Chain A
Amino acid sequence: MLRMAGGESGALGELYDRYHEPIRRFIARATSDAEDVDDLVHAVFLAAATSAGRYDGRDCCRPWLIGIAVQHLRRRRQARGRFFAVLSALAGAPRKVADPGPALNARGDVERALRAISEPKRVALLMAEVEEMTCPEIAAVLGVPIGTVWTRLHAARRELRALLAGAEP
Chain B
Amino acid sequence: MMPAACPRLFEAEAMRDGRLAGAERASFVRHTTSCAICRREVEALEALGAALRAGGGARADELHDLRERTRLVGAFDRALVAPRRRSGALRWAPWAATAAAMIAAAILVARPRPNVERAPALVVTAAAGAVWSRHGGEGRETIVLEQGELWIRVDHARGATALVVALPDGELEDTGTIFTVSVGGGRTTRVAVAEGSVSLRIRGLPPMTVGRGESWVPAPPSPLPSAPQRGRTPSPARPAPPRRASAAPAATPDEADPALDFRAAVAVLDAGANREAAAAFARFLATHPGDPRAEDAAYLHVIALQRSGADDEMKRAAQEYLRLYPAGFRRGEVEKLSR
Contacts and interface: CB of A to CB of B under 8 A. Distances in A.
A12 B52 contact: no
Given A33-B57, A42-B68, A42-B71, A12 B76 contact: yes
B17 A49 contact: no
Contact of A12 (B18, B44, B56, B73): B73
A9 B81 contact: yes
B73 A7 contact: no
A157 to B, nearest CB: 6
Contacts of A78: none
Interface residues of A, number: 39
A41 B77 CA distance: 17
A130 B52 contact: yes
B76 A49 contact: yes
Contacts of B52: 110, 114, 125-126, 129-130
B60 interface: yes
Interface stretch (A23-31, A55-63, A81-89): A23-31
A114 B49 CA distance: 12
Given A28-B56, A49-B76, A161-B48, A38 B68 contact: yes
B69 A20 contact: yes
B87 interface: yes
B57 A16 contact: no
Contact of B80 (A46, A149, A161): A46
B96 interface: no
A9 B70 CA distance: 10
Given A20-B68, A45-B72, A161 B44 contact: yes
Nearest to B68: A38
Contacts of B19: 135, 150
Contacts of A1: none
Nearest to B70: A13
A36 interface: no
Sorted nearest first, the 3 A-B pairs with minimum C-beta distance are: A7-B85, A28-B57, A129-B49
9 contacts: A9-B81, A13-B72, A21-B59, A25-B56, A28-B56, A46-B75, A50-B84, A130-B52, A160-B48
